[in-house]
Every structure is written in structure tokens, then in C-alpha cells.
Structure 1
Amino acid sequence: MNTIQMVDLKRQYQNIQTEIDAAIKDVIERAAFINGPVVKEFTDKLASYTKAKHVIPCGNGTDALQIALMALDLQPGDEVITPSFTFIATVEVVALLGLTPVFVDVDPDTFTVNLESLQQAITPKTKVIIPVHLYGQCSNMEPIMELAQANNIAVIEDNAQSIGGHYVGQHGIHKTGTMGTISSISFFPSKNLGAYGDGGVIMTNSDELAAKMIKICNHGSEKRYYHEIVGVNSRLDSMQAAILNVKLKYLDQYCDKRRAVAAYYNRILANHVNIITPFEPPYSHHVYHQYTLILEGVDRDLVHQGLAQRGVPSMIYYPVPCHQQEMFQNLQDRTYHLPHTEYLVSRVLSLPIHTELTEEEMAFIAIQLLEVIEEVKQKSYI
């Protein structure tokens, strides 16, 4: 059996090596490394896949969030609501731009923004809501959009982890990242659609916002050496676009495989007294960027350590919520009590999930988890 990886990018590459190598060679032969034709080819294909009107390439998913916020003409002190249970990139760009992060709770079953907590957090200073499609799970977008529209608030979908997923609502089926005012996507290598380096895009259906974000990505310039607004230098290079062009063809297949792995784990682990398997609400087509369990009645950290000793990697996404991070302590003028978030950070554990896992490997992972849980419980009784 292969050494088990959280994400096995080497085996994935080996299955598409001929196509990837040819795409990279083509970029080198053309010598168009920045803003080359392959970048436009990729963004056009991604627009067709998602049905987004505008797909704007940029350097990474964090840049995508920052550029989206920069495009909204926000002022220092304007409030941006985000869940606290997310990767730090969602929130650090808010603080970086002199805006005020306001943290809300998540649902303990979906791990996405809690609507009641969101509604209670809205004030006259609220200008943006950033729902996070966490672990591959889509946030409940229709009520979020209704709430935002009623209060004249922009919505930026943090879609870093959920490309390929979709939302099933009263108004039809929509790909994640196409329902908000703007959305951000990351192509970090471990993502469902991952590059072999950094990369990202911003999506919007607004012509005005698209034109502005294109300028922001290019030093605030539309015409070379003439700079109309303050911008940044954030580009998706041609090499990464070529790789993504190949892998986009396989995205649905990759997501289906991840869903199959999740279904296998669910069958083995369901109904265990110490395990809560991932929940899929009817509105969310979960694409399992991570397969994340909740462990009850057993020490999560000891289980994490025990799995590592048996050759099974696992990860804790995320051990410290954003509202408790040291970097934000001097920026806050309020006290937070986010019970669901504080419950989850001590209990979540993510198992290996990727497109190359075999049934033998999945069975090994699940069996090791069950055995480690029993070991940890027995030690706690001594």
C-alpha cells in the first residue's frame, strides 16, 4: 500500500502527466509567461463552466479577497461580517485595508455561517458580508442574499475551498461563487482545482466591478503607465493557467471521486458513538475539499496524535478561531461569544481525502481511526 497522504498530488499528476507536460512545454515555446493567451483561454473556460459573466485572474485566493474589497469603495471603519471559523485569509485582508472585521458564529452541522448570528451582527456600519463555503460545503446563499439586499450590503463569497460545488435553491441551481456581488477562488495546489503553485480568480456578474478589479490587479491601470486608481500587482501566470486548463476538464470527475470517498467513510463511521460524520443540507452539493468529522466524548488531540503514530495523517482545520487570534485582539472593541465555533475548534478532525485514494487505503484509514478512538478511551479510564 502507498504511503497515505492528506492530498496525493504526485499520483494525480501521474494520471494526467502527458497532458500537463505538453501544456507546460507549449507555454515555454510560446514564451508568453505573463498574461499570455492561455490565461484568457482558461478564464473563458472557467466562465463557461461556472456561468459567471466575468472571471478575472489574479495571483492567489487571498489577493482575490483583497481586490474584491478594494473594488467596493469602502471607508476605514466600515464593518465586514465574516464567520470566525475559517482560514485566517478571509479576515486578514479586512484588517489590512483598515476595515473592521465583525465575527459571527457558524452552524454546528454545516460549519457555514449561522443566519441568526449574521442577522444580529448587522449594524448601519455593515457594508460587506463574506460567507465562506467551508470544506467544500456551500453556505445557505438565498437567505444570505435576501438579508444583504434588504440592508444594502455587498456579498463576497469566499469560494476558496468549494469550486465545483453548487447551491440548490428556490431560484434554481447555481455554481458556488456565482450568487454574490463578487466571489474569490483559490487554486492552491491542494484545492479541488489546484495549480502547481499559487493562483486565483475573482468572479462577478457586474460589468462595472469587473472593469475596476481588472485595473486593481494591474497597478490601477488600464493603459500602460497611466494609473487611475491605487492597485496591486496580482497576476495568474501562464504556466499555472496552462495546468489549470488541463485540470478543469477533470474537475467534476475529481469532485465526484471526493464525494465517493466521503460516502465510503460515512458507511464505515456512521452511528459510532464518538463520531459525527459530515452533514449535507438539501441546498448544498458538497464537494469535500476536506472530510471533517466531529469527535465527541474522546480527546480529539490524542486521536490526532494516535493516527499519526499509525501512519495516517489527519489535520485540524482550524484549532484557533479568528476572533481569538492574537493579531485581532487590539482591533476589537467588542467581546465575542460564539458557542458553535468554540465547540467545533476542540472537536473537528479532517481525514485524508483526494482523487487517488483506493478502497484499501480508505478502509485502512477508517479502521485505524476506530481503533485509535478505542485506545484513547481506554487510556482515559485508567
Structure 2
Amino acid sequence: MDKDLVSGLPKLEVNKEIVCAGCQYGKATQLPFKKSDYQASAPLELVHSDVFGPVKQSSLNGMRFTITFIDDYSIFVWTYFIKEKSEVFSKFKEFEADAEKMTGYQVKYLRSDNGREHIATEFWDVEEEISQLKANLCVRYKMKDLGKLIHFVGLELTYAGDNCLLHQTKYATDLLHKFSMNLCKAVITPMESGIRLYVDQGKEIEDPSEYRKLVGSLIYLTLSRPDISFAVGVLSRYMQCLRKPHLIALRRVLKYVKFTLGQGVWFKREHEPKLFGYCDADYAGDLNTRRSTTGYTFMYGSSPVTWCSKRQPTMTLSTTEAEYRAVAMVAQEGVWLIRLMQDLHPIVNYQVKMFCDSSSAIKLAEISVFHARTNT
């Protein structure tokens, strides 16, 4: 620049006291980080780590990423090659064993660029994090440690080792007593097979308040009972035009709740669980509007984490279209869950599978070209 080797460039006044000349010529928009005053006083007291990749051309063994560990005290560098970012923790354990054996010291602190591969749950000491959180809260607020969560606004947790059952047994029992159904005869299904409910058929109910209260209570019960979501969703459509068949069908749901009082959602600790979903559609199941109903559930390992039964917003002209809309809805939920899990630190570096029982809807989703007959 000083010798005018390149013509046409503007003359810049470089202030080397603020930042280097190269950054000013390159029009850097951010000042460099301040130099750290901390320096490790022993080997492995502070280790820096970062991951590079993925590279376009993988190695002969399929390696696409590189992870490095740098000792702040000795500036000694360990380099490992990995196929996926999910292997970061296993390589860290391998580095930890090699480095501690080589130096005779233990790794005390690990510093990274806050990448998601370094904030996975495997790096956490959960008990230490919880204890630190409690200590921080006690400084500001008067708190009392009540131990593990057992009851919370109608929800109950029963623990069995590392697993737990989320249920609402007491809430369901109180619900049966409140609506005088505690002595009823139990049934094994929440709805009759092939039941046909209409808006304008049957005797009108003068006071719909009991029906509305019961529907609201059952909606809250679906927090731990996905098996009644469809039945409660269907019966909640008739709160403005209540008829006697609707009330009979709703009381049948209570009879089923009595038969399954202790049921709930079982959460099981598993090694490397994966997220996947199931979906289905009830074609033209609403006899009044001829709209279909979408139902789906997502599993994380063997534990259900979210479920839904919802009437589709528009009418469909075929079972394929109804199933395809269900697939689209479960795909949207899957994208949202992936982003939620990334915020909670589990790395989703695999394809989330979605299962549908309609071969025509699957083929429709696989084609890359849409035309008038397949546009839904």
C-alpha cells in the first residue's frame, strides 16, 4: 500500500494504536477481543477446544470434522478426527484420559466458543448445576428445599429409579366424585366404535354449564392422558349446541377414566434416544362439516413428548389429501421440536422420522413436482 503497488485504491489513514492495519484495510466491523490477563499455572488447568468442519471431501474413513484441544499452560495441541459432531464428547473423554496419563494432572476447566457440540448434556454435572442454582436463588429469595417434585397443580410424579410416571390419579378421582360418576360402571374404550354425533339431533339440554365444566376438566386431564385426546376433542365441538347424545358420550369418557385411573405418561432414561413421530387422519369424521381430523404424537426414545388431535381447517376431497395434510402438520411440529431441543442443548444431527399409514400420501410427499391434481 505504501509503494502504490495497486492503483485505484483509496488512501487510508491507519491508526495502529486501535487495531492492526490489515483489519482496517479489510474494513473489519468489530474490534478484536481484549487480551486475557489469565494464564494457567499448571498443565491442563485450562484447555481450549474447537471443532472444524464439515469439509466437503471426507477422508477415506469418512472423517468430516476435526476437533482440537490446546493446553493453555504448555500450548501443547491434541488433534482428533471425527465423522459427526455427536462424537465430540467421546473424543473429549479419550483426550482427557490420554492427557492426564501423559502429564499427571487432571483437566480442570474446558473453554470453547459456546458451540452446541460443547454444551450437550454429557458435559454437564447436573447435580452441581442444580445445587449452584439453588444457592444463587437463596441469596435473593427466602427458599425451602422440598426435595423432588411430587405434586404440581393436579399433576403427579411417581419415581422408579431414573424413570418417572407423569399422571393425574388424584385429579381424575376428584373429577369422578365432583360429577357423581365415582360409582359408575367402567368401560374399556373412551368412545363407542362408529358413533355418529350431529349438531341438531337429539333432545336439547337446558343447562349446558355441567357439560362445559366437564369438557374443560377433561381437557386438563389430557396433559397426561393422550388416549382420551381424540374423544375430548370431538366432544368439545358441541358446547354451543348441546344435545343429550353428546352428554351421554361425554359420560362414557368418565367411565373410561375410571377404568384407567392409574395410567399416565412414562418417561424412561435411555442411551442416545431419538425423536420420531406418528400421524394419522380421520377422513370426513366430522359429520356436520365433513372435515377431517388430524392426530399425531412425537416420541423421544420410548417416551411420548407431545400429542395432538385437531380438526383440519378445510374440507378435503380424498383420504390421500386428508393424510397428506396430517403429514404436513406433523412436519411443522417436528421442525418446532427440533429447534426447541437445540435450545435445550440436545444435538439433533439425524433425520427425524415420521410414520404414516397411507402409501398414497407418502408417495405424494416424495415427488418433487406438484401439479393441479396434487396441489393441497
Task: Output the TM-score relative to the length of structure 1.
Answer: 0.23
Structure label with greater radius of gyration: 2
Question: Could you tell me the TM-score, scaled by structure 2's length?
Answer: 0.24
Give 1 or 2: higher helix fraction: 1
